[in-house]
Structure 1
Amino acid sequence: MGENNRRKILVAVDESNESTYALSWCLKNLVSVQNSNDTLILLFAKTPVAVHTAMDSSGYMFTSNIIASMEKYGKEVAEHVMHKAKQVCKDLNDHVTVEIVVEHGDPRDVICEVAERLKVDILVMGSHGYGAIKRAFLGSVSNHCAQKVKCPVLIVKKPKSNAADH
C-alpha cells in the first residue's frame, strides 16, 4: 500500500473478553505495523440510561440521584473499556493512528452509523457466541451490523477454552 492509501479500520469494543480478543486478533492479523499508514478507530457504544418517570411495578421511582449514579457508572465503564483497549494497542508504532470514539445509543445503530459516517474500509467485531435462545431475545449486534453496513465486516470468534466449559 502506498502512503496515500490509508485504511480505516473500525473496531467495536465493549467490556467483554470477546471484544478484547477481537481487537488483539485484529492487531496481530490485520494491522500491518511494518510500513502501515492505517487508522485504527476504537468505538464504544454507550447504551443510554432508560429513564422512566412513572413508578415501576414495585412502586419505586428513579430519583435524580439514582439516574446520576447510573450515568456516572456508564461513564466509568466507557473509560475502563477505552483504557483496556488502549493498553492492547500500546505496542503499535507511529505509523498506525489510533482514534477513540465514544457514542451514545443502541450499539447496533451506533456501530452502523459510525462505520458509514467515517467511511471505514473494514469493521471488526467480536462475537459473544450467544446461543439461539439468548440471541433471539437480545439480538446479535454483529449479525445486525453485517447485514446493514456497506464495508466488509470481520467477526472474530474467541476460541472456547478446553477447560470446564461444558
Structure 2
Amino acid sequence: MDPAEGRRILVAVDEGDESVQALRWCLANFATRGDGELAPPDTILLLYVRPTPPTYSVLDASAPLGYLFANEATAAIDGYSRAVADAVVDKAQKLCALHNKENGEVKVKVDVKVAVGDARSVICDMVDKLGADVLVMGSHGYGFFKRALLGSVSDYCVSNANCPVLIVKSK
C-alpha cells in the first residue's frame, strides 16, 4: 500500500441483501475518510461479477431460423444481465454517496468495476489486478450441506484471495 493513498477495499456486490449489508457495514465500521495527508481516505472498489453469457443454443441451429432465435435469446439474456449489473452497481453507489454526504465531505473514494465470469475466480483475480488491500464480502449463511453442494464464493475467496478477507455475516 502506498502511504500517500488510503487502503483499497474491494467490496464484492451482487443482487443479494447480504452484499448490501456487507457494504453498509464496511462503510460504517471499516472504511475511513482519513485525516489529511497523514491518513488519506480509503478507496472502495465496488465489484459486480456478471455470469458468462451462454455460448450454446437451446434451439435447433440446423434450421435456418434457429440461428436467428438463438442470437435473439442470447442478446436478451445478455441485456438482462447488463441491466441487473447496472441496478446493483447503482444501488451500491447510492449507498456510498449517502455515506459521503455526511458533513459534506468526501469520506471514501469510490471506483466501480464490472467483470464477467465465474464469481469465485474473478473476485480473486480482481484482488490482484486492482491491488486490493482487503476484500469485504457478505455471506449467504448457507448451511453445511447446501455449501457442500453449491460451493461458497466466500469460502473459496478466503482460501484463494491474496489479501485479507473480511466476511460480514448476515443477520
TM-score (ref. length: structure 2):
0.83
Find the residue that maps to 1:103 and give its secondary structure.
Answer: strand
The structure where helix makes up a greater share of residues is 2
TM-aligned CA distance change 1:66 to 1:55, over 3 Å: closer
1:138 to 150, 154, 157: 150
- Count of residue pairs the alignment pairs up: 154
Q: CA deviation at 1:133?
A: 2.3
2:168 to 156, 162, 166: 156
Find the residue that maps to 2:4 and give its secondary structure.
Answer: coil
1:19 aligns with 2:19: yes
Q: Is the 8 A contact 1:3 1:37 kept in 2?
A: no
Counterpart position of 2:77:
70
Partners of 1:149 and 1:118 lie apart in 2 by 12
Q: Is the 8 A contact 1:24 1:88 kept in 2?
A: yes
Counterpart position of 1:86:
93
1:105 to 99, 111, 117: 117
CA RMSD of aligned residues (A): 1.9
Q: CA deviation at 1:3?
A: 6.3
Counterpart position of 2:28:
28
Gaps of 5+ in 1: 160-166
Partners of 2:4 and 2:123 lie apart in 1 by 26
Partners of 1:3 and 1:118 lie apart in 2 by 16
TM-score (ref. length: structure 1):
0.85
Cα deviation 1:43-66 (Å, max 9, x = unaligned): 00111122324659xxxx761111
Find the residue that maps to 1:49 and give its secondary structure.
Answer: coil
Cα deviation 1:135-160 (Å, max 9, x = unaligned): 1222100010010112110000111x
